[in-house]
Each structure stands twice: as structure tokens, then as C-alpha cells.
């Protein structure tokens, strides 16, 4: 098996995550799709670390995980705040600036 298969898998998962961000309307599911994209990027980092034979890719993947954790914490807090005021977690409902 070629090691590039991991990179293909990463590309496919990233694409699926991107579709989810565009298509789904529940803000929480959109967040999960963003997590999927970050995870796919991490897989690419780990694979490239192995291809190139140094650990820097793994260190960057580690940093990505920390940033993803921060993003989830703040994002979910925002979702809870929006839900509290509008009683809905749909991204289409939060269109107050449009009107």
C-alpha cells in the first residue's frame, strides 16, 4: 500500500467536512464538520511527518488539536448564548444583520 493513501483519505474527509459546513443548518453539526476538517488536516500532518522523517509535523498537529479545542469551547459558548436569546440553534435563524 502506498503511504499516499493516508493523504487521499485526509483529502476525502476534509471535503466531506466542507460539504457539511455548507449544507447542514444546525450550528452544532456545522461545528462538528469543522472538527472533521481539522482532524483531516491533522492526519495529513502526521503522514507528512512520517514521509519526511521528522517530528515537526506531529508537533504542528498537536498545536492544531489545542487550537481546535479552544475553537470548540468558544464556539459552543456562542451557540449557547444565541440559543438562549433566540431559542434556535439553526444558522439560518441568526440573520439579524440582513434585515
**Which of positions 78-97 make contact with another protein (CB under 8 A)?**
78-81, 83-84, 88-90, 92
CB of 87 to another protein, least distance (A): 9
| DSSP string for residues in 52-90 | HTSTHHHHHHHHHHHHHHHHHHHHHHHHHHHHHHHS--B
Does the protein bind another protein through residue 34 (CB under 8 A)? no
35-64 positions binding another protein, by CB under 8 A? 35-36, 39, 42-43, 46-47, 49-56, 58-59, 61-63
User: Is 23 a binder of another protein (CB under 8 A)?
Assistant: yes
* Minimum CB–partner distance for residue 68 and another protein (Å): 7
- Rounded to 5 degrees, φ, ψ at 2 are -75, 145
- Number of residues this chain uses to bind another protein (CB under 8 A): 71
* Residue 6 Cβ vs another protein, minimum distance, rounded to whole Å: 7
- CA gap 39, 51 in Å, rounded: 18
Q: How many CA atoms lie within 13 A of 65 on its CB side?
A: 10
Cα–Cα distance for residue pair 47/6, rounded to 1 Å: 7
Amino acid at each position: 500500500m502506498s503511504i499516499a493513501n493516508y493523504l487521499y483519505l485526509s483529502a476525502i474527509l476534509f471535503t466531506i467536512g466542507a460539504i457539511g459546513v455548507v449544507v447542514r443548518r444546525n450550528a452544532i453539526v456545522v461545528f462538528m464538520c469543522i472538527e472533521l476538517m481539522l482532524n483531516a488536516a491533522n492526519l495529513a500532518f502526521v503522514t507528512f511527518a512520517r514521509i519526511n522523517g521528522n517530528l515537526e509535523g506531529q508537533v504542528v498537529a498537536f498545536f492544531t488539536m489545542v487550537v481546535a479545542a479552544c475553537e470548540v469551547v468558544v464556539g459552543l459558548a456562542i451557540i449557547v448564548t444565541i440559543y438562549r436569546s433566540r431559542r434556535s440553534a439553526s444558522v439560518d435563524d441568526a440573520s439579524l444583520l440582513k434585515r
